[in-house]
Structure 1
Amino acid sequence: MSTTMSVPDLADVLFACRLQPSADPTPDEVRVAIDELLGACAGAQGRCVAYVAQEAGDHPETYTDRMHWALCTVTRAYALAA
């Protein structure tokens, strides 16, 4: 399911998942975490987007860094899977 999503959409899901930048997750760990969260949400990406919006409002000082990490990490994880 996640391979049909765009990089920004995948980054939203990664942003909302349990992985942390400090853990330096592998591309496989990133893809698994995204698939698990989408499965837990029954594919409802809107839940992830709502979480991202809430976090951006609650923690604007860390939002940019985490989203930058999510975008870069997703790009790398899915480029390696191709």
Structure 2
Amino acid sequence: MISTVRDLAAEALFVSYLQPSECPTRAIVEQAITTMILRYGSDGCAAGVATEFGDHPDVAVRRMAWVHAELAEVLAPRMPVLH
């Protein structure tokens, strides 16, 4: 189940408007993922990824590497704030 959620999040972030040069915050990445899932659904996100890998494989590989680096931070457990 976790890998399915991670895969969907990766596909959604991949097809999002975000660019690595923007250095998006965790909240912005989470919002982009949610927006893309609601807009395109799981099948639409997967289709967008497939299209990019077919049309521009060199760019798509670099983007997917960025996506996985971002998700490592977003999906990492949050540390509780101590007062």
- Secondary structure in structure 2 of the residue aligned to 1:71: helix
* Mapped pair 1:62 → 2:62: no
- Separation in structure 2 between the aligned mates of residue 53 and residue 47 of structure 1, nearest angstrom: 10
How far did 1:81 drift?
A: 4.9
By relative contact order (CA 8 Å, sep 6+), the higher-ranking structure is: 1
RMSD after superposition? 2.1
Question: SS of the counterpart of 1:62?
Answer: helix
Deviates more, 1:9-18 or 1:71-80: 71-80
Q: In the TM superposition, what are the counterparts of 1:9-28 in structure 2 within 5 Å? A: 9-28=8-27
Q: Which of 53, 73, 77 matches 2:70? A: 73
* Secondary structure at 2:75 match in 1: helix
Q: Give the TM-score normalised by the residue count of structure 2.
A: 0.81
Equivalent position of 1:37 in the other structure: 36
List per-residue Cα deviations over 1:7-30 (Å, max 9, x = no partner): 222111100011011111111100
TM-score by length of 1: 0.82
For structure 1, list consecutive stretches of 5 or more residues without a partner in the other structure: none
Provide the rounded CA distance (Å) in 1 between the counterparts of 2:6 and 2:39: 20
Larger-Rg structure: 2
**Hey, which bits of structure 1, 4+ residues long, moved more than 4 A?**
none
Task: Mark the runs of 5 or more structure 2 residues left unpaired by the alignment.
Answer: none
Q: How many residues align?
A: 78
**Sequence identity percentage:** 32
